[in-house]
Amino acid sequence: MEIQILYEDENVVAVNKPAGLMVHGDGKTDEKTLVDFLLEKYPEIEGVGEPPITVHTTRYTPRAIPRWGIVHRLDKETSGAMVVAKTAEAHAHFKKQFQDRLAKKTYHAFLHGEMKKDEGVIDRPIGRSSSDFRKWSATRGAKGEMREALTEYKVLKRGHGCTFVEVRPKTGRTHQIRVHFKAINYPVVCDKLYAFARRSRDEGGSKQGCVLGFDRLALHSLNLGVLLPSGKDILIEAPYPEDFRKAISLINP
């Protein structure tokens, strides 16, 4: 899998992460990850940042999962812009930016349903789903600690029963964009965790699922604004992958 480098200096490398690539391992598979790619190309990042996670694949086989250089994450099926630190100093610098909500993140996504409002803010705290340990929830019935979550959005196009939106999350909760749009009944297209899989009408299936040619989560990290350790502000922009370009032409030919 070829990974596009969007920006690079002595402190940081920014990449356009392809959909389908995990940022780091989860202990369940041996598939290559972004961290594997980075270690091959930049062996000097080994030891930078957070120590490996220890997971237990079976009762007797603990496994260390490296996270070298990683300061923020994208879901496996999300494509787009990510920054990775090359040095310990840069890692601490970027980590603080994300923790203090100073990094400016912009995503583009396709949603099920044609939204009536042209723009809006989703202000709903997020907690654990009470029905599925893999999921989070911003609706009644969520359990555990409810953490503040704020998402701004603007409609770019509508068509084919879908909405193409620009999204600016102001907090960084796990699955935040997916959870927030599911909570207002406009789930992200082809979200196999939060939207129903497409089934035939004879099966009584939902119309929600993988449409517009997508076979993965229709979410792309378009750009990321950060302050470099040098003091320079930069905006890292990730070009659309082919599935996004095709879907944009379908929704508004």
- Contact 227/106 with Cβ under 8 angstroms? no
Provide the 3-class DSSP secondary structure of residue 176.
helix
Provide the 3-class DSSP secondary structure of residue 92.
helix
75 is catalytic: yes
- CA atoms of 22 and 37, how far apart (whole Å): 11
Of 79, 15, 19, 11, residue with least CA distance to 49? 11
- CA atoms of 36 and 141, how far apart (whole Å): 39
Written as one letter, the residue type at 78 is: T
CB-based contacts of 199, cutoff 8 Å, min separation 6: 205, 206, 209
- CA atoms of 57 and 52, how far apart (whole Å): 15
Per annotation, catalytic residue among 36, 75, 215, 233: 75
C-alpha to C-alpha distances, 42 to 11, 20, 169, 181, 195, nearest whole angstrom: 11, 22, 30, 37, 38
Active-site annotation, residues: 75
